[in-house]
């Protein structure tokens, strides 16, 4: 089933067995996904930074490290669903993979149609709020196209910045700690990467010019919570009372 989206979801396959990787890539491409391939831990990490995939298919036994290690590195920097594809099907391996931050686990050999169904299931789970629009005039977010408009000006955000802004826009006036943001936005099981939150918030603040005469502010309170507030709304010039 092809994904129902204005933008094809991006799937990253991290697998060192080229025939298997290419077969999975070919099948997913036929299903309407955009597919990126990598064969190593280092290649997978670089691909996530460059392409910001929606789903990562991850082997465990890789030439330069383990998929568990890569998963732990990815979770603080991406909200992508991570599905293991591996020959290690023992219960202990499954538990270790999920504890490292994985979302699903498929043992080899696997059925490609079942894999596609599981990918679509993960995309449905992570589609909110991306599969909709958020309008808090004069801020408008479209999670299907990735477009963000603030007072008519288009803002270029990364996928994580967009997800974070979506969280703030749907929780105006509600405070959230760095740990809560890691859990809700990054879907991280570990809460040690709070520097990732600070960096993303700083970038979001700069791009939205929140330190200037903005209709919104993003405050870090004395209670160590981030609070997104609307402080000004200018009605259209042609508004008639």
Question: How would residue 8 be classed by pLDDT, with cut points 50, 70 and 90?
Answer: confident
Angle (nearest 5°) at CA 150 between 208 and 207 = 15
Q: What is the pLDDT of residues 53-99, one digit of tens each?
A: 999 999 999 999 999 999 988 887 788 899 999 888 788 888 888 88
- Give the pLDDT score at 130: 45
Question: How would residue 160 be classed by pLDDT, with cut points 50, 70 and 90?
Answer: confident
Q: Token pair for residue 58?
A: 């991850």
- Give the pLDDT score at 127: 57
Q: What pTM does this model have?
A: 0.62
CA atoms within 13 A on the CB side of 17: 14
CB atoms within 10 A of CB 111: 9
pLDDT tops 60 at residue 241: no
Q: What is the pLDDT of residues 100-159, one digit of tens each?
A: 888 999 999 999 999 999 999 888 776 544 446 888 889 999 877 888 999 899 999 988
CB atoms within 10 A of CB 39: 18
- Give the pLDDT score at 183: 77
> Which among 216, 221, 226 has a CA at the least distance from the CA of 141?
216
Q: What is the pLDDT of residues 175-234, one digit of tens each?
A: 899 888 887 787 765 556 678 888 899 999 999 998 768 899 999 998 899 999 988 765
Q: What are the residue boundaries of the structural domains of the chain, listed by start? A: 10-126, 133-230
CATH class of 10-126: alpha beta
> Which among 77, 216, 75 has a CA at the least distance from the CA of 148?
216
What's the gap between Cα 99 and its chain centre? 18
- Give the pLDDT score at 225: 92
d(CA 132, CA 147): 12
On whether the CB atoms of residues 97 and 105 are closer than 8 A, the answer is: yes
Q: Which fold does the domain 133-230 belong to in CATH?
A: Arc Repressor Mutant, subunit A (1.10.10)
Question: How would residue 26 be classed by pLDDT, with cut points 50, 70 and 90?
Answer: very high
d(CA 42, CA 145): 29
- Give the pLDDT score at 3: 43
Q: Phi, psi (5° rounding) for residue 191? A: -115, 30
Beta bridge partners of 229: 217
């Amino acid at each position: 089933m092809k994904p129902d989206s204005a933008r094809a979801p991006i799937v990253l396959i991290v697998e060192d067995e080229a025939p298997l990787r290419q077969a999975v890539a070919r099948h997913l491409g036929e299903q309407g996904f955009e597919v990126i391939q990598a064969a190593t831990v280092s290649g997978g990490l670089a691909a996530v930074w460059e392409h910001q995939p929606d789903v990562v298919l991850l082997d465990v036994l890789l030439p330069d490290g383990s998929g568990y290690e890569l998963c732990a590195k990815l979770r603080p920097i991406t909200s992508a669903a991570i599905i293991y594809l591996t020959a290690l099907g023992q219960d202990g391996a499954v538990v270790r993979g999920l504890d490292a931050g994985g979302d699903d686990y498929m043992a080899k050999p696997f059925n490609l149609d079942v894999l596609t169904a599981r990918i679509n299931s993960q995309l449905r789970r992570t589609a909110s709020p991306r599969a909709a629009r958020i309008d808090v005039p004069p801020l408008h977010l479209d999670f299907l196209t990735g477009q963000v408009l603030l007072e008519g000006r288009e803002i270029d955000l990364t996928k994580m910045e967009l997800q974070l802004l979506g969280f703030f826009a749907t929780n105006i006036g509600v405070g959230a700690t760095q740990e809560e943001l890691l859990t809700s936005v990054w879907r991280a099981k570990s809460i040690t990467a709070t520097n990732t939150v600070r960096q993303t918030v700083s970038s979001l603040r700069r791009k939205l010019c929140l330190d200037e005469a903005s209709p919104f502010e993003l405050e870090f309170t004395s209670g160590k919570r981030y609070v997104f507030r609307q402080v000004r709304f200018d009605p259209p010039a042609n508004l008639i009372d």
